[in-house]
Amino acid sequence: MVDLLKLNDVEFHLEFEKAAELDQATTNSILHFINDCERRKSYLDLGYSSIYDYCVRKLGYSSSTAGRYIQAARCIRANPEVLRMLEARDVSVTSICQFA
């Protein structure tokens, strides 16, 4: 973890931008994992009744976060162009859910 108090303004904003890029990449990756986990239905072998159950009980997501990620992942699966929009930061997970 970077000590933010020791950074000058330029360093601070560079670190902030890197964190935002990492967050975006992580979100995209999570959506891909959700889609593939649903395709495999491997959560059933682990004792979870649904991808939602797996995300909440195993991964520790809140109910609302799990619901948003799952809805966004399904929307992307049905509409691949939405993924390109997410990657370009033209839309957010929340706006994808509203679109869905």
pLDDT at 100 exceeding the cut of 90: no
| Per-residue pLDDT reduced to its tens digit, 47-64 | 999 999 999 999 999 999
Which run of H or E residues covers position 76? helix 63-78
Provide the residue ranges of all domains of the chain, joining segments of one domain with +.
7-99
pLDDT at residue number 82? 94
Instruction: Name the burial class of residue 92, with classes exposed (0-12), middle (13-18) and buried (19+) by CB atoms within 10 angstroms of its CB.
Output: middle
| Per-residue pLDDT reduced to its tens digit, 19-36 | 999 999 999 999 999 999
Mean pLDDT of 33-44: 97
pLDDT at 1 exceeding the cut of 90: no
